[in-house]
């Protein structure tokens, strides 16, 4: 929890903690629920806006607590309507979020770490290394910061944990944030429209499933241990055989599937042989496959396959009766597509 001048951040508290804090001021516990609605539903950043609390109580809370915020340094919009937000946190660290327009709603891709320690060779965020985890409040403040700027806040329906960082390398804060997002009466978000992407941290998969229900996306990118070792160093700790076992027992709500994300890299993992390896890995899993042609960035050592290879790879999966969709990432020209985020003001090609 970030503390400033001994003031606690109310957005870092769960309901029980806030009730205890309010009780320490001699107030009834129900005040905590009122405050949480102001914080997470109305998105206020000022105690004076909490008009159903007395001025005296607002002043007393303000002496001991604060409301954290997030500063938007820059917004870029691509031709396809995607918007990339560059945020500065209270310690001057920077992260990015991406707002993606869909046919009748908005999807927000949020970050969970400053940088990333996973070292995936095709991901630009990996070039940063890891600075630190985001707090519960910093994760949520990305959503609140964007909702406060929308004319129709109800259009923001989908949340995907696919920005900077590996969510399951920051499990405590990510799970706590998800619980607030899903708490009735607060942020008006549904677990059916929330998805978390992971490289496959097996011990944390069970922890996630035990505590919250959200969609799961697994960044696979190769179904051959040698290739995946090269592309994703985490595979040396959790090889494909172990990952397959963990996904087989991962609890899924009815009619929900695990999404397998597969970034197609020219002459690395895009051949007919690689597609056959992938179909063997998928055996026994309730899953669908998102094929993502590589999104280039300055200094990248990879290229995207040509369209013919992309379609052939997809067709090989469909032939084996797997649902396979080619995902064309939005926001490429503003470095807002999958694998391009670096939290910098200078990210254009």
- How far, in whole angstroms, is CA 212 from its chain's centroid? 15
- Strands 287-293 and 258-264 turn out to be parallel
Cα gap 82→209, rounded to integer Å: 31
Catalytic residue among 19, 76, 96, 204: 96
Are 142 and 93 in contact by the 8 Å Cβ rule? The answer is no
Q: What contacts 143, CB < 8 A, 6 or more positions away? A: 108, 110, 156, 159, 181, 187
DSSP, res 6: T
Rounded to whole angstroms, what are the CA distances from 61 to 29, 155, 205, 278, 286? Answer: 14, 33, 38, 56, 49
- Strands 324-326 and 71-77 turn out to be unpaired
Three-class DSSP category at 106: strand
Are 249 and 285 in contact by the 8 Å Cβ rule? The answer is no
Three-class DSSP category at 247: helix
Q: State the distance between the two ends of the chain, measured CA to CA, in whole angstroms.
A: 37
> Catalytic annotation on 287?
no
> Catalytic annotation on 333?
no
Cα gap 332→29, rounded to integer Å: 48
Q: At what angle do helices 30-37 and 15-24 cross, to 10 degrees?
A: 120
Cα gap 153→71, rounded to integer Å: 19
| Residue with tokens 């490289």, as numbered in its chain | 199
Rounded to whole angstroms, what are the CA distances from 253 to 179, 245, 347? Answer: 17, 18, 39
Are 57 and 63 in contact by the 8 Å Cβ rule? The answer is no
Q: What contacts 42, CB < 8 A, 6 or more positions away? A: 49
DSSP, res 225: H
Are 231 and 268 in contact by the 8 Å Cβ rule? The answer is yes
Cα gap 186→39, rounded to integer Å: 9
Annotated catalytic sites, by residue?
96, 338
């Amino acid at each position: 929890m970030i503390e400033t001048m001994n003031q606690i951040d109310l957005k870092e508290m769960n309901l029980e903690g806030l009730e205890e804090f309010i009780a320490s001021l001699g107030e009834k516990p129900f005040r905590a629920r009122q405050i949480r609605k102001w914080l997470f539903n109305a998105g206020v950043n000022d105690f004076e806006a909490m008009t159903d609390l007395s001025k005296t109580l607002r002043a007393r809370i303000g002496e001991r607590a604060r409301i954290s915020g997030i500063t938007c340094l820059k917004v870029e919009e691509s031709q396809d309507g995607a918007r990339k937000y560059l945020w500065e946190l209270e310690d001057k660290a920077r992260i990015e979020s991406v707002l993606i327009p869909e046919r009748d709603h908005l999807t927000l891709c949020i970050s969970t770490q400053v940088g990333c320690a996973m070292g995936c060779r095709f991901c630009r965020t990996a070039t940063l290394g890891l600075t630190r985890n985001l707090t519960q409040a910093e994760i949520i403040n990305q959503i609140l910061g964007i909702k406060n700027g929308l004319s129709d806040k109800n259009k923001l329906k989908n949340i995907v944990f696919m920005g900077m960082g590996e969510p399951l390398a920051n499990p405590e804060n990510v799970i706590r944030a998800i619980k607030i997002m899903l708490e009735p009466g607060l942020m008006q978000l549904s677990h059916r429209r929330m998805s978390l992407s992971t490289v496959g941290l097996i011990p944390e998969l069970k922890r996630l499933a035990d505590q919250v229900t959200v969609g799961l996306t697994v960044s696979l990118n190769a179904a051959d241990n040698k290739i995946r070792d090269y592309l994703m160093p985490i595979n040396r700790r959790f090889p494909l055989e172990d990952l397959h076992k963990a996904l087989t027992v991962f609890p899924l709500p009815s009619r929900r599937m695990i999404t397998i994300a597969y970034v197609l890299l020219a002459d690395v993992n895009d051949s007919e042989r690689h597609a056959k390896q992938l179909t063997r890995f998928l055996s026994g899993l309730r899953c669908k496959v998102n094929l993502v042609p590589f999104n280039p960035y300055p200094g990248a050592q990879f290229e995207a396959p040509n369209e013919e290879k992309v379609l052939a790879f997809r067709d090989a999966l469909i032939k084996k009766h797997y649902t396979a969709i080619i995902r064309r990432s939005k926001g490429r020209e503003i470095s807002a597509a999958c694998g391009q985020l670096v939290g910098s003001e200078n990210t254009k090609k």
